[in-house]
Structure 1
Amino acid sequence: MTAIAVLLVNGLMAAPTKVTVRVKAKDAKFIGTGIGGASVLIKNNLTGQLLANGITTGSSGDTKLILQSSLVRGQRLTDEKTAKYEAIIDINEPTLVDIEVIAPLSRRGAAIKGSTQVWLIPGKDILGEGIIIDLPGLILDILSPTSHQAIQLSSLKQDVLEFKISLTMLCGCAITKGGVWNSDEFEVKAILKKDGIETGTYSLKKLHENNLFSGELKIKETGSYELVIYAFNPKDGNAGVDKIGFVIQ
């Protein structure tokens, strides 16, 4: 065997290859331990074989650096504390892989799936900033009324039912009045249905506490109701939805 052939064979020997994956909320920060992290799956694109899987851990990152700084080419958004998952994959030839992520894991009702593809070369690590996958979305939770709650019509004052939600960025970052994620930029509305038929649309107002919004529903009849609430930011397209059913007796 010639020296060139030996080199080629050696070059194709299995080599541990490190891959860093990070998951970031669109127009926000990284998804890490504080919000349950992001699930990461790395698969061989050709065979579908699962090569690695894990969860991102670490902090959501530096707000000023990520969102309030003018970045130049090559400047990092992350440091060693920023949430990531680092896989070690043994491959013996250049391999196209699919990377799939789902986040945030602690709020599965709001979790979003994202994916990308990348070529891995044996022994050529992808470290530092790594591969960053952006996920759009918002975490919206209806706090009251509660799911399937039975409410007496006679208990309502002037046929008004107050309701409340919590709204955060997908990374768990707070939405506040005039803050980095300014509540004034979000359209937050409720759609009320009775026995499957829409009866009204209502706007919510921001409460003093971080993330909290409230509104009032006009209800005059007993029956089964469904409450659908959405939040939308036209500047970046982020949206979140939650829905519950409740009964007026």
Structure 2
Amino acid sequence: MKSSRIFLFISLSLLSFCGIAQPTKLVIRAKAKDAKFIGTGIGGAYVIVKNELTGEILAKGLTTGASGNTDLILKTPHKRNDRLTDDKTAKFEASVNIQEPTFVSVEVIAPVNRKSSAIKASTQLWLIPGKDIDEEGIVLDIPGFILDILEPQTHRIMLLEKMADKKVKIKINLTMLCGCAITKGGVWDSEQIEVKAIVKKDGVKYKDVALGITSVDNIFEGILDMNAIGMYEIQVYGYDKITKNTGVDKINFVIQ
């Protein structure tokens, strides 16, 4: 009987010393700079939560949900502790089992399905067993644009002698990282965004071409005048003169 009590005492002491793992909720969100949250509509943000000391991955997955309320996020004055999100706003939610306060790193890659535009952001924090970090959670701000060159196509080969007007259209699609549309005079106004193509011929700077918004949301176009055969490279950038958001895409094509 005495030995049983001793064994029970030792067991309870060990449990007390080692601690019992407790599920702890952690909510992570990725928000496009000057825009809304990155969710299902654009493919989500990929989240990795690691134990900073050991490198162990504690949780990983995609943010899912809607991009949020435009009026609330961008048009409403906010006071301290006001929430920008609700239950439908895109998030990644994990339940992490920890026995003691644990220092973690949180890494977000967004938007994960747009490799040429995906930005990596990270932060660190302490998780306390049983003390949830939920509701708004941890919000990482992601700068940039999604910029895709639509014309000319990658490695397109054109014959100069068959180009009657000796012109090449440069056409791009430009959106916010959350997928929100850029339009003339809209919430995301094309008038404050400089879009320009930097053209090289045979590795040497050839000329710059300004691109302007068309009647179609997100679509910018410009015309490149050609006069010589060669290997061409087009690098197009978008630069918001107010928010300082940037985006870039690059392709190569051939005139022969």
TM, length-normalised to structure 2 = 0.92
Look up the match of 1:121. 128
Measured in 2, the distance between the counterparts of 1:210 and 1:163 equals: 16
Residue 72 of structure 1 and its aligned partner are, at CA, apart by 1.2
* 2:159 corresponds to 1:140: no
* 2:126 corresponds to 1:105: no
Residue 10 of structure 1 and its aligned partner are, at CA, apart by 7.6
Structure exhibiting the larger radius of gyration computed from Cα positions: 2
- How large is the Cα RMSD of the aligned pairs? 1.7
Structure 2 counterpart of 1:167, one-letter code? L
Look up the match of 2:23. 16
* 2:16 corresponds to 1:26: no
Structure 2 counterpart of 1:155, one-letter code? K
Measured in 1, the distance between the counterparts of 2:164 and 2:32 equals: 40
Identity, in percent, stands at 55
Which deviations, in whole Å up to 9, do the C-alpha atoms of 1:129-149 show, x marking residues without a partner?
Answer: 010000001000000000000
Look up the match of 2:197. 190
Residue 11 of structure 1 and its aligned partner are, at CA, apart by 9.3
SS state at 1:184 partner: helix
Residue 96 of structure 1 and its aligned partner are, at CA, apart by 0.7
* 2:209 corresponds to 1:202: yes
Measured in 2, the distance between the counterparts of 1:145 and 1:88 equals: 47
Gap change, CA 1:28 and 1:11, over 3 Å in 2: farther
User: Quick check: 31-40 or 151-160, which moved more?
Assistant: 151-160
SS state at 1:93 partner: coil
Which deviations, in whole Å up to 9, do the C-alpha atoms of 1:170-213 show, x marking residues without a partner?
Answer: 11100000000000010110011011001001111110100000
CA contact (8 A) 1:12 1:122 kept: no
Residue 106 of structure 1 and its aligned partner are, at CA, apart by 2.1
CA contact (8 A) 1:20 1:87 kept: yes
Look up the match of 2:55. 48
Look up the match of 2:225. 218
Measured in 2, the distance between the counterparts of 1:35 and 1:9 equals: 47
Look up the match of 1:233. 240
Measured in 2, the distance between the counterparts of 1:10 and 1:126 equals: 25
CA contact (8 A) 1:21 1:86 kept: yes
Look up the match of 2:175. 168
Which deviations, in whole Å up to 9, do the C-alpha atoms of 1:73-127 show, x marking residues without a partner?
Answer: 1111000000000011011110110000001122111100000011100000111
Measured in 1, the distance between the counterparts of 2:54 and 2:169 equals: 53
* 2:58 corresponds to 1:57: no
User: Quick check: 10-19 or 113-122, which moved more?
Assistant: 10-19
CA contact (8 A) 1:24 1:134 kept: yes
Residue number among 54, 66, 88 corresponding to 1:81 in the alignment: 88
Residue 155 of structure 1 and its aligned partner are, at CA, apart by 3.3
CA contact (8 A) 1:42 1:98 kept: yes
SS state at 2:116 partner: helix
Measured in 1, the distance between the counterparts of 2:33 and 2:18 equals: 39
Look up the match of 2:75. 68
Measured in 2, the distance between the counterparts of 1:107 and 1:60 equals: 17
Residue 154 of structure 1 and its aligned partner are, at CA, apart by 2.5
Look up the match of 2:97. 90
SS state at 1:42 partner: strand
Measured in 1, the distance between the counterparts of 2:229 and 2:23 equals: 65
* Unaligned residue ranges in structure 2 (runs of 5+): 1-5
Residue 156 of structure 1 and its aligned partner are, at CA, apart by 2.6
Structure 1 counterpart of 2:235, one-letter code? V
* Unaligned residue ranges in structure 1 (runs of 5+): none
